[in-house]
Amino acid sequence: MVIDGKTILVTGGTGSFGKCFIKHILDKFNPSKVIVYSRDELKQHNMQAEEGFTDPRLRFFIGDIRDHRRLDRAFKGVDYVVHAAALKQVPACEYNPIEPIKTNINGAENIINAAIDNGVKRVIALSTDKATNPTNLYGATKLVMEKLFVQANAYSGLGGTSFSCVRYGNVIASRGSVIPLFMKQRETGKITLTDERMTRFLIKLEEGVDFVISGLRDMQGGEIFIPKLPSVTIKDLVEVIAPECEIDVIGIRPGEKLHEVLVGVDESRNTITQENRHIIQPVHPWWETNVEGDIFEADTYYGSDNNKEWLKGEDLRRLLEEYVS
């Protein structure tokens, strides 16, 4: 496997994804070294005290992706980088607009330069459905990040660092997501719902980890990998999590979408479809691909509202059971 014997650095390594990813590759593979790169010393201290994170192959680096010199030092001897660090809370990004630009855009540029300068072989970045036709600043910064990572392959050249992205929807019960919010509101007897028509994609954290690993394995450089996910209506989520509660419909918040889109109409004509994923291919003269699959239907989109797979009733209840029990 591509991970065995390699040194892997994870930016945002103390986050929900980072911790799950690191634990998974330590348990299932045999990396030479895994570097946790993050800016919060308390989170690193707490992580080192948790079961599963005392492995001698682990290293902890305090650092911010805004700091190019620190990244340059941390990337020395690294084979692969998984870029999961970001400012992602939509209201906070709207209120503090310069900060997500510094982290999500300038930080991405720093990662690209440090990776190329240090001969990192592969870099894969985590993006979001909000980068497709963005309606808020967080999504806009992630769209720019995707553009930077795709085009970075032209800077690194043939045989140099390869850069790709993964783009997926809501991670079930991740920090700041709607499921923990509904569980907390359930205690009050009232749930706030923005719009009864609202739909979302759902993915388990473990599924996200597996998907990133598959992208790291298969990437040539320049692709945006998108998993095929089930959709759910937010109203159905409420009915499973808090069926006895009163629902207060408060309207869509600024920057929020009624439905999510993972492949936009303009991206569809450059997208390959495989059994479990879509792959958006770059439109650049340096791109040569041997990716196999079906051509995505042109001038259509892959959204949470026009999806073929839906979670309802008992299927949804079983999926959420471990989070709402």
What is the predicted pLDDT for the residue at 177? 73
| pLDDT above 70 for 176 | no
Q: Is 200 exposed, middle or buried (0-12, 13-18, 19+ CB in 10 A)?
A: buried
Known active-site residue 130: yes
Of 80, 85, 82, give the one whose Cα is nearest residue 105.
85
In a domain, 102, yes or no: yes
Measured from the Cβ of residue 199, the count of other Cβ atoms closer than 10 Å reads 21
Measured from the Cβ of residue 303, the count of other Cβ atoms closer than 10 Å reads 21
- Each residue of 35-53: pLDDT tens digit? 999 999 999 999 999 988 9
| pLDDT above 90 for 1 | no
In a domain, 255, yes or no: no
Average pLDDT of the residues in 140-144 = 98
In a domain, 316, yes or no: no
As a whole-number percent, the residues of the chain with pLDDT over 90 amount to 71
Measured from the Cβ of residue 182, the count of other Cβ atoms closer than 10 Å reads 22
The active-site residue, picked from 6, 19, 88, 130, is 130
Domain count for the chain: 1
In a domain, 155, yes or no: yes
In a domain, 321, yes or no: no
Average pLDDT of the residues in 4-15 = 96
In a domain, 55, yes or no: yes
- Each residue of 281-315: pLDDT tens digit? 998 867 777 788 899 988 899 999 999 999 888 88
Residue 180's pLDDT band, with cuts at 50, 70 and 90, is confident
- Each residue of 245-270: pLDDT tens digit? 989 898 888 788 999 999 999 999 99
In a domain, 187, yes or no: no
Domain span at residue 297 reads 7-169+202-228+262-302
What is the predicted pLDDT for the residue at 214? 96
What is the predicted pLDDT for the residue at 253? 80
Residue 20's pLDDT band, with cuts at 50, 70 and 90, is very high
In a domain, 189, yes or no: no
Which spans in the chain are helix H? Answer: 16-28, 41-49, 68-74, 90-95, 98-100, 107-117, 137-156, 178-186, 205-218, 234-241, 265-268, 313-324
104: domain CATH number is 3.40.50.720
Residue 65 to residue 317: CA distance in whole angstroms: 39
Assigned token pair, 220: 């040539």
* Angle, vertex CA 169, rays to CA 319 and CA 320, nearest 5: 15
- Relative to beta strand 7-11, strand 33-38 is parallel
**What is the reported pTM?**
0.94
Average pLDDT over the chain, rounded to an integer: 92
The DSSP symbol for 58 reads E
3-state secondary structure of 213: helix
